[in-house]
Amino acid sequence: MSSARSAAVTLTLFRVVLGLLFAFHGAASLFGVFGGNRGSGHAVEFATWPGWWAALIQLAGGILVITGLATRPAALLCSGSMAYAYFVVHQTQGLLPLNNGGEAAALFCWSFLIIAVLGPGAFSLDALLSRRRDPAPPAPLATA
């Protein structure tokens, strides 16, 4: 497999796994599944700030990133929400992620920023839709 093909497959796997983990966090908080919000077994109360809205971003953003649809804006929103979580929730408890419990928020923030910069890759709905909108250019005419 060529290195370009390996990079495309690796980016796709990274994007899908990252989106899946993020969507699981959102589903846990919104619906009380997978152990619930922060392992409590319960869902976050509807429309409470910031927990419910963060969970909505996690679920919707995670699904968009998994599928590779509107990937850059979704990943940027997910990254920003994790930056907010880190600086507002975690950093008040200590400077370093190791001391304030913010490792996951920091890792999600930077990982989604990478996806926002690199894009969804070749194996995504964004790429598929782009190919449908921009068909291959016509073949050049043969000259005599």
DSSP, collapsed to helix, strand or coil, labels residue 52 as helix
- Over residues 26-75, the pLDDT tens digits come to 999 999 998 888 888 889 999 999 989 999 999 999 999 999 999 999 99
Q: What is the pLDDT of residue 18?
A: 98
pLDDT in tens, 84-127: 999 999 999 998 999 999 999 999 999 999 999 999 999 999 99
**What is the residue whose two structure tokens read 């997978």?**
34
For residue 86, what are its two tokens? 């880190």
With a cut of 90, say whether residue 21 has pLDDT above it: yes
Among 21, 17, 98, 102, smallest CA distance to 58 is for: 21
What is the distance between the alpha carbons of residues 21 and 115, in angstroms, rounded to a whole number? 14
CB-CB contact of 127 with 121 (8 Å)? yes
Question: To the nearest 5 percent, what fractions of the chain are helix, strand and coil?
Answer: 70, 0, 30
Q: Within 10 Å of residue 5's Cβ, how many Cβ atoms?
A: 10
> Given a cut of 80, is residue 142 above it in pLDDT?
no
